Amino acid sequence: MDPRSQIIVALDCDDRAAADAVVEQLGGECRFYKVGLELLTAAGPEFVKDLVTQGKEVFLDLKLFEIPNSVSGAVRVAGALGVSMLTVHGMGGSSIMSAAIEAACHFPGLRILALTVVTSMTDTDLNDIGVSDSVDKQVLRLARLAQEAGCHGVIASPQDVTALRSILGPDALIVTPGVSLPGESPADHARPGTPRAAIAAGASHVVVGRTVTRAADPAAAFRLVRASLAP
């Protein structure tokens, strides 16, 4: 896969002007963007539409965790926007994930990804909510559940990729947030890794945020990430 297609830039911005500036600075370098709750709330679905119109792919990271009917409705709206990837929360269970998959069938370009365990969470955090297993075990449990429900792949930390690839097989998407170049701070991620290590372990995509968006020259920073993925 072309490294440019494997890198998803997270537009974790609190207003449209800031997001537009990053997209303009990256120009043709970046093909894929993540839009999360913050930016969607600030800029609305029109921003997503505009990215798609520009020929960009959009990963809409909503982590849907609602009753199945509401999840189905949200998936249909996302599909109509032209989104390429959409997240549901694996801890919502099979009914939520199955509802998302069924709704996505009407949009051939839409892939449903199940969030396993948020990359900021640790074993202690899971224990606080009544999950006695380790993060590693919970990630694999939810990944198997997602696969059984028909999800196209999962969201997980770079440290989970090797084990996930072994149980999900070669075709599943494994998208990894929590990546940064060597020497950089992992920010809020408790289970980080580098883009190169994630891809080498079997990730299909890596999500980079501040490494690119807060760089003095975002395009140059993106090229550094891309170069790090080269064999």
Which residues are identified as catalytic?
63
Closest to 40 measured CA to CA, from 66, 64, 11, 69: 11
Torsion sign over Cα 226, 109, 82, 85: negative
Spatial CB neighbours of 147, under 8 Å, sequence gap ≥ 6: 167, 168, 172
Please check whether residue 145 is in contact with residue 137, taking contact to mean a CB–CB distance below 8 angstroms: no
Cα separation of 29 and 174, whole Å? 22
